[in-house]
A and B are shown apart, each in its own frame.
Chain A
Amino acid sequence: MKKALILLGCPESPSQTPLALYTAHKLTKIGFEVTVASTPSASKLLEVSDSEEFYVNKKIDLELCLEDLEEKEYDLLVGFVHKDAAVSYFVTFYHILNTKSIAIVFEKDSDLLEKFLNDLKENTDATLISARAYHNPTPIRVKIDKAFNVLED
């Protein structure tokens, strides 16, 4: 079974947790074994939102994951990027894993969104999914659906 790693950033953006569960479920349906790497607080949000572990049953601490990460350990990296630090984390995971990667980039400020996208374009060959979004996950969910339909094909 192919393995996917979902990389979560700071859970400050309200859209991140529902989008992470949505993305994990989509990847599971396609046939991936999904692991979510996150901070302890982002992990707590997942635990409460998905208390029966219906959508995510493999979680790992972000720092522990990074410490032991090896090239090609996962077949797919999906990173949620909505802060400058998340760009740095995604680029770092991308360079260590050297595997197919998708960055889901969302921000309410259009200038910041553009900056994050430029940094990712300059430093990775990842597929970029982006939208202006913060409270409302729908704009980015629609784009996730389109991108993942390609993955299914």
Chain B
Amino acid sequence: MSFCLELHLQQSEDYEILISKAGFKEAKKVIENHSPRILYVKPGAKVLGARIIGIPPIPIGIDETQSRITLPYTKPCHGTAVVDLPVEKEEIDKVKAIAVNPMKK
């Protein structure tokens, strides 16, 4: 079964919010400063079963040793949060496959 970000955030406590109610650019800096590797995706790209909302290029933080992903999570009334959560390795591979300009920090 594929990962569903919405369901994970509703039903699990296994995630960390690095910042909340932020502007997108502020959230972007948090991701870029937090993760050992950053991949960039297009607006609307599907990551962990959810469309990623934001201004391009949108950073997705990758920590392959810990198998974790850090990503922006935007809601109309609450601004942008940054969520860091554990994922299966295959989910990291899916992000690599859709990255538009993979860059190592």
Contacts and interface: CB of A to CB of B under 8 A. Distances in A.
B43 interface: yes
B76 A39 contact: yes
A93 B42 CA distance: 11
Nearest to B72: A88
A88 B80 contact: yes
B51 interface: yes
A125 interface: no
B79 interface: yes
A66 B51 contact: yes
A89 B74 CA distance: 8
A119 interface: yes
B24 A96 contact: no
A67 B49 CA distance: 9
Contacts of B53: 66, 85, 88-89, 92
Contact of A91 (B43, B76, B78, B79): B43
Contacts of A94: 43
Residues of B in contact with A, size category: 10 to 19
B55 A91 contact: yes
Q: Which one of A67, A91, A92, A119 has the highest number of Cβ atoms from chain B below 10 Å of its Cβ?
A: A92
A95 B77 contact: no
A107 B53 CA distance: 21
B78 A85 contact: yes
Interface residues of A, number: 25
A10 interface: yes
A96 B76 contact: no
Contacts of A88: 24, 43, 53-55, 74, 80
Interface string A85-122: 11111011111100000000000000000000001000
A98 B56 CA distance: 14
Most buried by A among B43, B54, B75, B80: B43
8 contacts: A69-B44, A84-B80, A85-B74, A87-B24, A91-B43, A92-B51, A95-B56, A96-B44
